[in-house]
Amino acid sequence: MTLERMILLGGLLHLSLLIAAAQVPKILDYRGQLARVDVHLRRLIWVHGVFIVLTLAGFGVLSLAQAAALAGGSALARAFCGFVAVFWIARLAVQVFVFDESGLARTPLLKLGYHALTAVFVYLAVVYGWAALA
């Protein structure tokens, strides 16, 4: 598989993460949990969530629309891919060292989803890291 095709798959994976992101408020009971916190903190959490969604959508759309350019190795392409790789390396570190799987994955389906997300984060970090360094 070529780097361009791997970036195209990365774009699809970014957009597919939006499906997982849409499930987070229900799975983590945002409505009930956030009802107990200060209104400013509640709004801040929702705003952060919206910006994460916008970031994932941007990474996905740019990857799908400009896969050839991103695989081409220009300075801008390498910088963008480097940023995306650092983003996913940091997110992967949070997944491994900060989140406690037992508290998040309470059912077999959620456990599978948790591990699938980890695999997606690894794929994105490796592909965009490779594109940044190639």
For residue 58, pLDDT beyond 90: yes
Average pLDDT over the chain reads 94
Taking only the tens place, the pLDDT of each residue in 18-52 is: 999 998 898 888 899 999 999 999 999 999 999 99
* CA 71/CA 26 separation, integer angstroms: 37
pTM of the model: 0.92
* CA 66/CA 83 separation, integer angstroms: 16
For residue 74, pLDDT beyond 90: yes
Which residue carries 């570190």 as its tokens? 93
